[in-house]
Structure 1
């Protein structure tokens, strides 16, 4: 299985964190349902063109957060995410993205009113 994940080496965010967040989003969105087998650490590293150490760290973090489970000799699989947790995580992800957008706007010295105007433009464009 090839996961629809892209890493950007130019971002300040570490690659392992980019992988972690994208896998988490795929799980929370339902794209990767419970019990789905994930690519091995080596296969994912090869697909993304990054090191095995990087993908191992992402998988370890995801396992610590109960998104995935690794079974020795069988592979790594998606764990069940409750509907309530899924709802909370989706909202958190959108809030994080909006926080980043507001931070960027404030760095460019936009007022709250101007930020709201820009958000309304984006919302109309995305209909």
Structure 2
């Protein structure tokens, strides 16, 4: 199974984090349905061109969060994600993205008002586009 995960090798974010964030988003958004069999650790590592250890960590982290379940000898599957858990993960993903955006703005000395204007402009373009 192909999973649409894109790695940015120029990013300061560790590979495991990039994979984990994207895989979590695919599960929480419902793009990967409950019961979907994921690629083996080796297959996914090969797809995204990273180490097996990196993918093993991602699968373990997401299993600890209750988003994946592993059956010995069968594979790793998307777990049932209830509405409440889905909302928590959705909100968490958006908060993390906003925190990163604010940090980027602070680094280049954007003020709060300028950052609000940028957000409003992005939202306006999204509505129109």
Query: Which bracket does the TM-score occupy, shorter chain normalised?
Result: over 0.9
Q: Deviations over 1:51-92 (max 9, x none)?
A: 111111111111122111111111110101110110121111
CA RMSD of aligned residues (A): 1.1
1:3 Cα offset (Å)? 0.4
Distance 1:63 1:88 in 2: 16
SS of residue matched to 1:126: helix
Across the two proteins, how many residue pairs are aligned to each other? 127
Distance 1:65 1:53 in 2: 18
Structure 1 residues without counterparts, runs of 5 or longer: none
SS of residue matched to 2:89: helix
Distance 1:39 1:75 in 2: 8
Distance 1:15 1:121 in 2: 30
Distance 2:120 2:8 in 1: 28
Give the 4+ runs in structure 1 shifted more than 4 A. Answer: none
1:1-127, aligned counterparts within 5 Å? Answer: 1-127=1-127
**Could you tell me the TM-score, scaled by structure 1's length?**
0.94
Structure 2 residues without counterparts, runs of 5 or longer: none
1:9 Cα offset (Å)? 2.3
